[in-house]
C-alpha cells in the first residue's frame, strides 16, 4: 500500500503534472483512502532527522478525522504527534531515522493510550527531495478485535481439550491427529496430548483396535457421512477393555465438496455397558443355576420351530426333565440344600450337552434341553 501512495506522490511532483497544474488531482486520490496519510518534507539532511525538522505538506481527510483536529499545510509534525496516542516507550524520532537511513518502511501496531482503538503506524522515505517522508495511519481495531476473539476462542478450546473427560479428536484428511483431548493422552500413556499430534491410530492403539477405527472412518473420509453413537471398544493402560460411544463428523473444504478432515468425540460408557450386560444377563439367565431363563429358552424354541417350518427336513429334539420328590428334599433338609442340588444338576446337564444345544430352567425343579440337528 505504501508503494501505491509513493507512486501517487511522485506523480504529483513530476514536471509534467506541475506544468499541467494537476498536482491537486493526484492528492485528491488519497482523500478516498480509508486510512490516514501524511506527506512531510524536511529542510535538513537525513542525519539530523527528528520531529522538529519535518513540516506537513499534505494530510488527507481520514487522517484529520483520526486525530480529531485540524491539520494544516506547513504545520510541524511535532505538533500532531501527541494526538497519535503512541505509548510512552515508542521513540518516533528513532523510527523516522530508521526509515530514512534504511530506505524501507518501518511499521508499528499499537493501542491508543486514550481510546480503545488499535492503529498501524507506517513510515516510509520518499526519494523526491531526498528527505521526504510518507506516514500512514490505519485503524486496525476491527482486525485486532477479531484476533482477540479468535485468541479467546482458541484459549477456550484449549481449556476444553485440557479438562474434558470426553475423548476429542480432530484429524486431517490423511488420518493424522491435529488436536486431541488430554483425556485421550492419559489412557494411551502420553504425558501431553501435544505428543500425539501428527500420529495415526496405528501409532497409538493396538493393531486390531486401530483397524476397527480406520474401517469405520472410511465412510467419513470417502463418503462424507457421519458415524453417530457407535459403540467402540478401547483398551486401558492396564490392559482392561472399556467401551466408548463415538460420533464422528466429516470436515469439508470451503466449497463443501471435499472432505479435508474429521472431528470426533467419544464418551466412556464402560459403566453403562457393564450395567446393560448385567441387565441382559438377568433377563436371559436363571439367577440360581446360570441356565437359560424360561423366557430365553422359549424364544430359542420359537426360533427352532420357525427353522423347521422353513426346512421340513430339519429336526430338533426337545427333552423335558423333572426332579422327582424334590419337595421332600426341601422340606427335610431346607432350601439351601435344595438350591445346591439344582445347581449340581444344572452343571451336569451343561457338561453333557453340545455347544449348540440349549439348556433352560423352566420351573422350580423343571428343566428342558433343546438339541437341534
With both helix axes pointing from N to C terminus, report the angle between 270-284 and 294-310 in degrees, rounded to the nearest 10: 80
Q: Taking the domains of the chain in order of start, what are their residue ranges?
A: 1-140, 164-273, 285-372
164-273 and 285-372 have identical folds:
no
Distances in Å between the alpha carbon of 106 and those of 64, 67, 93, 131? 22, 20, 12, 15
Least-confidence region, from 90-104, 247-261, 268-282, 340-354: 268-282
Could you tell me the three cell numbers for 245? Answer: 460411544
Closest-CA residue to 316 (of 335, 336, 298, 301): 301
Distances in Å between the alpha carbon of 349 and those of 222, 267, 307, 343? 52, 42, 24, 10
Three-state DSSP at 60 gives: coil
Task: Report the predicted TM-score, pTM, of the whole model to 2 decimal places.
Answer: 0.55
Three-state DSSP at 136 gives: strand
**Which residues fall within 8 angstroms of residue 359, CB to CB, at 6 or more apart?**
291, 292, 346, 349, 350, 353, 367, 368, 369, 370
**Average pLDDT of span 349-373:** 90
The string of pLDDT tens digits covering residues 183-217 is: 999 888 899 999 999 999 999 988 888 888 998 89
The CATH number of the domain covering residues in 285-372: 3.30.70.270
CATH fold for the domain made of 1-140: Beta-Lactamase (3.30.450)
Cα–Cα distance measured from residue 369 to residue 360, given in angstroms and rounded to the nearest whole number: 6
pLDDT for the residue 16? 40
Least-confidence region, from 8-17, 57-66, 137-146: 8-17
Q: Which residues pair with 135 in a beta bridge?
A: 38, 123
pLDDT for the residue 68? 85
CATH architecture of 164-273: 2-Layer Sandwich (3.30)
**Average pLDDT of span 54-70:** 89
The string of pLDDT tens digits covering residues 84-134 is: 999 999 999 999 888 888 888 899 999 998 888 999 999 998 765 557 889
Please give the DSSP secondary-structure letter assigned to residue 21.
Answer: T
pLDDT of residue 69 exceeding 90, the answer is no
pLDDT of residue 6 exceeding 70, the answer is no
Amino acid at each position: 500500500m505504501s508503494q501505491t501512495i509513493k507512486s501517487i506522490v511522485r506523480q504529483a511532483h513530476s514536471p509534467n503534472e506541475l506544468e499541467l497544474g494537476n498536482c491537486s488531482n493526484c492528492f485528491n486520490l488519497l482523500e478516498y483512502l480509508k486510512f490516514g496519510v501524511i506527506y512531510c518534507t524536511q529542510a535538513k539532511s537525513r542525519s539530523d532527522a527528528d520531529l522538529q525538522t519535518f513540516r506537513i505538506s499534505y494530510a488527507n481527510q481520514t487522517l484529520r478525522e483520526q486525530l480529531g483536529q485540524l491539520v494544516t499545510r506547513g504545520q510541524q509534525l511535532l505538533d500532531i504527534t501527541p494526538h497519535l496516542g503512541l505509548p510512552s516507550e515508542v521513540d518516533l524520532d528513532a523510527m523516522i531515522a530508521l526509515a530514512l537511513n534504511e530506505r524501507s518502511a518501518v511499521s508499528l501496531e499499537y493501542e491508543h493510550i486514550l481510546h480503545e482503538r488499535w492503529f498501524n503506524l507506517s513510515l516510509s522515505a520518499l526519494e523526491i527531495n531526498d528527505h521526504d517522508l510518507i506516514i500512514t495511519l490505519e485503524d486496525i481495531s476491527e482486525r485486532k478485535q477479531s484476533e482477540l476473539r479468535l485468541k479467546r476462542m482458541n484459549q477456550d478450546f484449549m481449556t476444553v481439550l485440557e479438562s474434558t473427560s470426553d475423548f476429542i479428536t480432530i484429524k486431517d484428511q490423511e488420518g493424522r491427529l491435529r488436536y486431541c483431548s488430554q483425556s485421550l493422552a492419559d489412557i494411551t500413556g502420553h504425558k501431553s496430548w501435544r505428543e500425539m499430534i501428527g500420529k495415526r491410530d496405528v501409532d497409538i492403539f493396538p493393531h486390531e483396535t486401530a483397524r476397527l477405527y480406520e474401517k469405520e472412518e472410511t465412510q467419513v473420509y470417502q463418503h462424507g457421512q457421519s458415524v453417530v453413537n457407535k459403540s467402540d471398544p478401547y483398551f486401558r493402560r492396564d490392559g482392561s477393555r472399556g467401551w466408548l460411544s463415538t460420533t464422528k463428523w466429516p470436515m469439508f473444504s470451503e466449497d463443501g465438496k471435499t472432505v479435508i478432515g474429521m472431528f470426533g468425540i467419544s464418551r466412556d460408557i464402560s459403566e453403562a455397558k457393564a450395567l446393560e450386560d448385567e441387565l441382559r444377563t438377568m433377563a436371559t439367565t436363571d439367577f440360581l443355576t446360570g441356565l437359560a431363563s424360561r423366557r430365553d429358552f422359549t424364544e430359542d424354541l420359537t426360533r427352532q420351530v420357525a427353522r423347521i417350518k422353513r426346512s421340513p427336513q430339519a429336526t430338533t429334539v426337545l427333552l423335558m426333565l423333572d426332579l422327582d420328590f424334590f419337595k421332600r428334599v426341601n422340606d427335610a433338609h431346607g432350601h439351601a440344600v435344595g438350591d445346591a442340588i439344582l445347581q449340581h444338576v444344572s452343571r451336569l446337564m451343561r457338561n453333557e450337552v453340545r455347544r449348540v444345544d440349549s439348556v433352560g430352567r423352566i420351573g422350580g425343579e423343571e428343566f428342558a434341553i433343546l438339541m437341534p440337528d
